[in-house]
């Protein structure tokens, strides 16, 4: 978690190559499998970059044929298990140290397609991209052990239900299937063991149609989900099914991203912040519910939080007729964002992508007709704990459609001293102590319309969590807020007096000097005294420059809060900062009170003697 976006420096090369699949090792955050062209495979220790070559070697005199980007898959029933594809399916139960071939040649083994070593007399340029009759994808069934699907670059759709002892090729049984086409992806549904999606493309033979097939009976029958001339354009490259809502599908083609809310019966082009580029691969983040796209030549994209799309797919278009709906909120983490390594100010080499901003991401929908009825700041939201207490609340303007806000784990805070009188808001300020990890409810109200959803807050998973220290920090901040209140109130009185004097001064300019002599003299004295007091807290109004050697009350106030900025419980230093705030705050408030009870009353009497109404003006300032 870094501030300042995702920089180039955040990406760490783990193995060199021209763009290949990387497979994280299940249940081991420190290990990944990475490839280079033609079946090169290494097991990488992500802690130090150490790599062990684990590419299968031939078991006999039969040469192994690997695709440029060979097939690899984790065994869903064995954390140390991994599958790898040549023309055979290889299986390892010890993370690649040893391999067993679990199939016959699953390709056509067409000798006419295996002449990559022949150059026709030209200088040979064979990089293994020319390999043919190879396995492109391996898809173990996550719900049924021993069932595996395999796709090849010569049109085979192989299927075993007994761990590789026997195999069935389904390609010939699919109507209007382009025989010999590439099968770059197979997706086995996590919702139904018999539901399988097959991505097919045949553009290498000048067939640019989109192909996506599905079976719901384990391969007994198939249906084609996209047709030429339909909404989906470009040959198909990838497919992803939402792990929570089975009817929500995403399709990547040569021309962009498409989405279906009804299991592929209808498709819509995704047009929000994703250009028309080849979407080569997709994955849905299991924790955050984000859709991550890998494109050809135009970077990686992240579509944050699929909750609205999941609700729409699960409930249908009737959802869009609701007046107000808050969608499910992903689990949120109270993490500390740190600076990047290296230069703080990167100057001209600053390249970065948008990054997650922290806090709980809240998405909600307001019907456009409902939004038209309500005005500014009429949509109220609140964070409620399990005891029913409102810890944080606010208001915003409801616009029609889906909107996103962030709750940064803060509770209602305090009013801070202001140098100018401002109209008091109906909603409280935020910035109060962060909530403790645990379950909460986010509720929204717009007139008579209401919606709510749970939100779970977790501590930073990178470090041990100390709940007692968190509670102690929160208590310290609450005490500091109470200690600051006299300063806030006193500064507000200073601004009320200065505002009243300014208004009266404008009124008195039409009065002859002889009649306002006493009021003017007292006003000068009062203005000087209030300015002196104001500068106990603030820099002088005409101050120029940066910083000051004079410690002012605002610094003392800020220090009392900032000393609790870490993860530890407040210590003696923090307690001393609190004592200074109390002492200096009381002294400040006492000085304001002395002016109000002395010079201020004298000026009021003198000003009212010339038929002005400073008392009425002063009372009016209190209604801001």
Residue 277 in any domain: the answer is: no
Residue 590 has pLDDT above 60, yes or no: yes
In this structure, are 59 and 107 located in the same domain?
A: yes
In angstroms, rounded to a whole number, what is the distance separating the alpha carbons of residues 189 and 193?
6
In this structure, are 453 and 495 located in the same domain?
A: no
Residues 167-186: pLDDT tens digits? 999 999 999 999 999 999 99
In this structure, are 424 and 542 located in the same domain?
A: no
Predicted local confidence at residue 542, as pLDDT: 84
In this structure, are 518 and 448 located in the same domain?
A: no
Domain end, chosen from 433, 459, 485, is at 459
**Structural domain containing residue 534:** 467-621
In angstroms, rounded to a whole number, what is the distance separating the alpha carbons of residues 174 and 424?
70
Residue 148 in any domain: the answer is: yes
Residues 378-423: pLDDT tens digits? 999 999 999 999 999 999 998 999 999 999 999 999 999 998 887 7
CATH code for position 45: 2.130.10.10
Tell me the CA end-to-end span of the chain in Å, nearest whole number: 41
Residue 624 has pLDDT above 70, yes or no: no
Residue 348 has pLDDT above 80, yes or no: no
- The encoded tokens of residue 342 equal 């290296």
Residue 534 in any domain: the answer is: yes
Burial 542-570 (b: 16+ CB within 10 A, else e): eeeeeeeeeeebbebbebbbebbeeeebb
In this structure, are 364 and 475 located in the same domain?
A: no
Residue 270 in any domain: the answer is: no
Q: What is the mean pLDDT of the chain?
A: 92
Residue 165 CB neighbours (<10 A): 10
In this structure, are 490 and 528 located in the same domain?
A: yes
Residue 209 in any domain: the answer is: no
- At 349, the pLDDT band (50, 70, 90 cuts) reads low
In angstroms, rounded to a whole number, what is the distance separating the alpha carbons of residues 361 and 329?
6
H helical segments located in 94-158: none
CATH code for position 454: 2.60.40
What is the number of structural domains in the chain?
3
Question: What would the mean pLDDT of 202-208 be, rounded to a whole number?
Answer: 97
Query: Secondary structure of the chain: what % helix, strand, coil (to 5)?
Result: 25, 25, 50
User: What is the DSSP secondary structure assignment for residue 288, as one 8-state letter?
Assistant: T
Predicted local confidence at residue 589, as pLDDT: 97
Q: Among 315-324, 348-357, 435-444, whose mean pLDDT is lowest?
A: 348-357
- Going edge to edge, which strands form the sheet with 332-334? 332-334, 449-459, 438-446, 379-384, 390-396
**Which position has the higher pLDDT, 98 or 125?**
98
Domain end, chosen from 459, 492, 511, is at 459
In this structure, are 76 and 110 located in the same domain?
A: yes
- 3-state secondary structure (DSSP) of residue 364: strand
Predicted local confidence at residue 586, as pLDDT: 96
Residues 47-89: pLDDT tens digits? 999 999 999 999 999 999 999 999 999 999 999 999 999 999 9
Query: How many residues are given for the chain?
Result: 624
Domain end, chosen from 459, 492, 514, is at 459
In angstroms, rounded to a whole number, what is the distance separating the alpha carbons of residues 188 and 440?
35
Residues 606-616: pLDDT tens digits? 888 886 677 77
In this structure, are 428 and 491 located in the same domain?
A: no
In this structure, are 455 and 488 located in the same domain?
A: no
Residue 192 in any domain: the answer is: no
In this structure, are 448 and 488 located in the same domain?
A: no
Q: Residue 448: which of 391, 389, 377, 380 has the closest Cα?
A: 380
- 3-state secondary structure (DSSP) of residue 593: helix
- Going edge to edge, which strands form the sheet with 168-169? 135-140, 148-152, 157-160, 168-169
In angstroms, rounded to a whole number, what is the distance separating the alpha carbons of residues 119 and 123?
7
In angstroms, rounded to a whole number, what is the distance separating the alpha carbons of residues 360 and 408?
6
In this structure, are 440 and 546 located in the same domain?
A: no
Residues 8-49: pLDDT tens digits? 778 889 999 887 899 999 999 999 999 999 999 999 999 999
Residue 106 has pLDDT above 60, yes or no: yes
In this structure, are 434 and 543 located in the same domain?
A: no
Residue 320 in any domain: the answer is: no
CA 309 to chain centre: 16
Task: Please answer whether residues 284 and 330 qualify as being in contact, where contact means their C-beta atoms are separated by less than 8 angstroms.
Answer: no
Residue 391 in any domain: the answer is: yes
């Amino acid at each position: 978690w870094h501030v300042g976006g995702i920089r180039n420096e955040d990406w760490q090369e783990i193995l060199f190559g021209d763009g290949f699949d990387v497979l994280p090792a299940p249940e081991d955050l420190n290990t990944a499998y990475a490839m280079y062209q033609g079946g090169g495979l290494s097991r990488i220790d992500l802690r130090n970059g150490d790599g062990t070559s684990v590419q299968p070697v031939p078991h006999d005199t039969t040469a192994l044929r690997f695709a440029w980007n060979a097939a690899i898959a984790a065994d869903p029933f064995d954390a140390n298990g991994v599958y790898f594809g040549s023309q055979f399916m290889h299986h390892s139960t010890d993370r690649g140290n040893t391999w067993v071939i679990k199939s016959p040649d699953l390709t056509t083994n067409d000798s006419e397609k295996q002449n990559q070593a022949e150059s026709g007399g030209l200088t040979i340029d064979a990089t293994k991209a020319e390999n043919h009759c190879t396995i492109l994808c391996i898809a173990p069934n996550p719900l049924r052990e021993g069932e595996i699907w395999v796709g090849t670059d010569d049109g085979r759709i192989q299927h075993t239900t007994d761990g590789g002892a026997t195999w069935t090729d389904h390609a010939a049984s699919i109507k209007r299937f382009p025989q010999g086409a590439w099968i770059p992806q197979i997706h086995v549904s996590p919702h139904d063991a018999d539901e399988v999606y097959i991505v097919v493309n045949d553009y290498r033979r000048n067939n640019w149609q989109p192909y996506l097939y599905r079976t719901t009976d384990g391969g007994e029958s198939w249906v084609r989900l996209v047709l030429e001339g339909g909404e989906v354009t470009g040959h198909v490259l990838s497919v992803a099914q939402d792990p929570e809502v089975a009817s929500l599908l995403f399709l990547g083609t040569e021309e962009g991203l498409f989405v279906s809310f009804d299991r592929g019966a209808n498709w819509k082009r995704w047009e929000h912040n994703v250009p028309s580029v080849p979407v080569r691969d997709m994955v849905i983040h299991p924790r955050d519910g984000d859709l991550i796209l890998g494109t050809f030549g135009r970077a990686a994209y992240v579509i944050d939080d699929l909750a609205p799309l999941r609700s729409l797919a699960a409930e249908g278009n009737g959802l869009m007729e609701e007046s107000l709906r808050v969608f499910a909120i992903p689990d949120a983490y109270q993490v500390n964002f740190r600076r990047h390594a290296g230069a703080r100010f990167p100057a001209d080499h600053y390249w970065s992508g948008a990054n997650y901003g922290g806090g709980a991401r809240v998405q909600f929908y307001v019907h456009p007709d409902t939004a038209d009825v309500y005005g500014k700041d009429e949509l109220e939201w609140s964070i409620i704990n399990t005891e029913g207490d409102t810890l944080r609340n606010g208001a915003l303007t409801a616009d029609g459609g889906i909107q996103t806000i962030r709750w940064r784990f803060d509770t209602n805070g305090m009013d801070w001293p202001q140098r100018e009188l401002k109209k008091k808001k109906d909603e409280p300020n935020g910035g109060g102590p962060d909530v403790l990890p645990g379950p909460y409810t986010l509720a929204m109200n717009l007139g008579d319309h209401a919606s709510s959803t749970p939100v779970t807050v977790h501590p930073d998973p990178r470090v041990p969590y100390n709940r007692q220290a968190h509670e102690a920090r929160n208590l310290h901040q609450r005490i500091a807020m109470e200690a600051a209140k006299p300063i806030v109130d006193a500064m507000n009185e200073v601004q009320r007096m200065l505002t009243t004097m300014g208004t009266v001064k404008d009124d008195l300019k039409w009065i002859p000097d002889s009649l306002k002599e006493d009021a003017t003299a007292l006003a000068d004295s009062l203005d000087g005294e209030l300015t002196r007091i104001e500068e106990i807290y603030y820099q002088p109004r005409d101050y120029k420059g940066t910083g000051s050697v004079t410690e002012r009350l605002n610094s003392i106030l800020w220090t009392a809060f900032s000393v609790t900025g870490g993860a530890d419980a407040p210590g003696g230093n923090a307690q001393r900062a609190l004592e200074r705030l109390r002492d200096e705050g009381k002294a400040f408030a006492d000085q304001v009170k002395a002016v109000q009870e002395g010079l201020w009353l004298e000026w009021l009497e003198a000003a009212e003697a010339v038929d002005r109404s400073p008392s009425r003006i002063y009372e009016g300032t209190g209604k801001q």
